[in-house]
Structure 1
């Protein structure tokens, strides 16, 4: 936890996808102070017609390099979120040679009762985590 979903166009190699996931995880470890083995990531690649990613009138365009990162997590401080956004964007732009405008990040907060890591048990509620 957090659970991180990444959506991309079918534009990246397996090595690039691994690099992206590794970067996102390491930044989450650093910014959210989570254990290194607290890694839950899902990546989905899409055909060009399966994602529409406009700019909300910010004046830029996105290309086939676009990445959408959704983070489902317990509550995090505003400072930790802002640090996460900046570091992910900085490191992904450097590693993948893409523009920062290609990276869209959304963080969705939830509570302890919203997680079951197996066996139908809410481990945060039961005290196992």
Structure 2
């Protein structure tokens, strides 16, 4: 059920964005119970004029290695599950892609289950 958007500065490695997406998907499965095959992602790379951020907001020192991650999921996770998800993503990106934890920016959007249609014009989660 999650829809993941990942935005980064252009990277010379054409597989880099996909690697980030794999880490996020594995973290979603491990921490909040996302099932196998429920993997929907939009991966975007931007030039410096189209990737804007404050390098020191809230005292966190960010670099051009910043990774914006926006996850839309159905509502119902606890605060503890969300915190575990954020940490799992940050840790995984550090290990698998060398991303500094300061450069992991996550925005979680929760929606009601009736706000999803996975195809055929049907709200599959509505009972």
Return the alpha-carbon distance in structure 1 between the equivalents of residues 108 and 12 of structure 2.
23
Q: Residues of 2 paired with 1:59 and 1:66: CA distance?
A: 11
Distance across 1 between alignment mates of 2:32 and 2:14:
26
- Counterparts of 1:12 and 1:68 in 2: how far apart (Å)? 18
TM-score w.r.t. structure 2 length? Answer: 0.91
Q: What's the counterpart of residue 117 of structure 1?
A: 118
Q: SS where residue 4 of structure 2 aligns? A: strand
- Whether the 8 Å contact between 1:113 and 1:124 is mirrored in structure 2 is yes
Q: Is the 8 A contact 2:31 2:85 kept in 1?
A: yes
Aligned to 2:37: 37
Stretches of 4+ aligned residues off by more than 3 angstroms: none
| Structure 2: runs of 5+ lacking an equivalent | none
Residue 15 of structure 1 deviates from its aligned partner by 2.5
Structure-2 change in CA distance of 1:94 and 1:12 (3 Å): farther
Cα distance between partner residues in 1 of 2:12 and 2:23: 15
TM-score normalised by the chain length of structure 1: 0.90
Match of 1:6 in 2: 6
**Could you say if the C-alpha distance between residues 88 and 110 of structure 1 is closer, same or farther in structure 2, counting changes exceeding 3 Å?**
same
Aligned residues: 125
Change (3 A) 1:42 1:59: closer
1:16 — aligned with what? 16
